[in-house]
Amino acid sequence: MRFLKDYFSNSVIARVAPFLIFLALTYGEKFGPVWAEWLYLVKTLVGIWLVWEMRPFVTEMRWAISWEAVVVGILICVIWVGLDPFYPHLLKTGATGNPGDAFGQGSALARFFTGVHILGMTLVVPPLEEVFYRSFVYRYLARQNFLSVPLGQFIPFPFFATAIAFGISHNEWLAGILCGMAYQWLVLRKNRLGDAMTAHAITNFLLGVWIVWQGAWRFW
């Protein structure tokens, strides 16, 4: 693994390459419901490995808990669900995202892949996305030598540009923009990334519970 450590030692690559690899695997999920579920499992396992390999090189990727993170995490989930009927989305697909459609409603495999989705969106997506958007993109837009930009420094253009980029990467673009601003606010307030990672994890976990409880599979 020495070659991988040398590769990740580049400060830009360590923050960008894992996100792009994870994103590439996401696009591979478009080839049918069964393929999508198995690929999500692969993507989650690869994501866990990527996060593990990033840790020595991305020092800001450390979980942190605060009351602000908990409040923002819950609030963004409410906004994500509550705004959903009131604005047009970027993309509509015929797939429901329900593992039961691929493996049978109530089957062991359907329950397994539902758990995999919640695990991935709660523990893998937040560190990868927060490192890429809130740590790298925000600071790189401010200065090419992005490591010289403090995490707690507010700069208007990167703040709004990063939130918009984050928002339009999601089907629910409006909620995504608000979400991006809220998570960036946490980073600025705390001068660290960990609270945004925690808020993101709380939002995604609650959203996963909502999806399963309400059958709102479109959110996946």
Q: Is 20 a member of any domain? A: no
Q: Is 33 a member of any domain? A: no
Which of 43, 45, 46, 55 has the alpha carbon at shortest distance from 15?
Answer: 55
Q: Is 174 a member of any domain? A: yes
Instruction: Check residues 210 and 9 and name the one with the higher pLDDT.
Output: 210
Range of the domain at 156: 61-219
Q: Is 145 a member of any domain? A: yes
Mean pLDDT, rounded, for 65-78: 98
Rounded to the nearest 5°, which phi and psi values hold at 56? -70, -20
Give every CB contact of residue 72 below 8 A, 6+ residues apart in sequence.
Answer: 182, 183, 185, 186, 199, 203
- Model confidence at 43: pLDDT above 70: yes
Total of domains in the chain:
1
Q: Is 134 a member of any domain? A: yes
- Model confidence at 11: pLDDT above 50: yes
Q: Is 4 a member of any domain? A: no
Q: Which amino acid is at 170?
A: H
> What is the pTM assigned to this prediction?
0.92
Q: Which tokens is 120 given?
A: 């991935």
Q: Is 24 a member of any domain? A: no
pLDDT in tens, 107-149: 999 999 999 999 999 999 999 999 999 999 999 999 999 999 9
pLDDT in tens, 14-28: 999 999 999 998 876
Angle of helix 33-54 versus helix 11-27 axis, rounded to 10: 170
Q: Is 18 a member of any domain? A: no
Which of 93, 77, 187 has the alpha carbon at shortest distance from 132?
Answer: 187
* 188-208 b/e (C-beta count within 10 Å ≥ 16 → b): bbbebbbbbbbbbbbbbbbbb
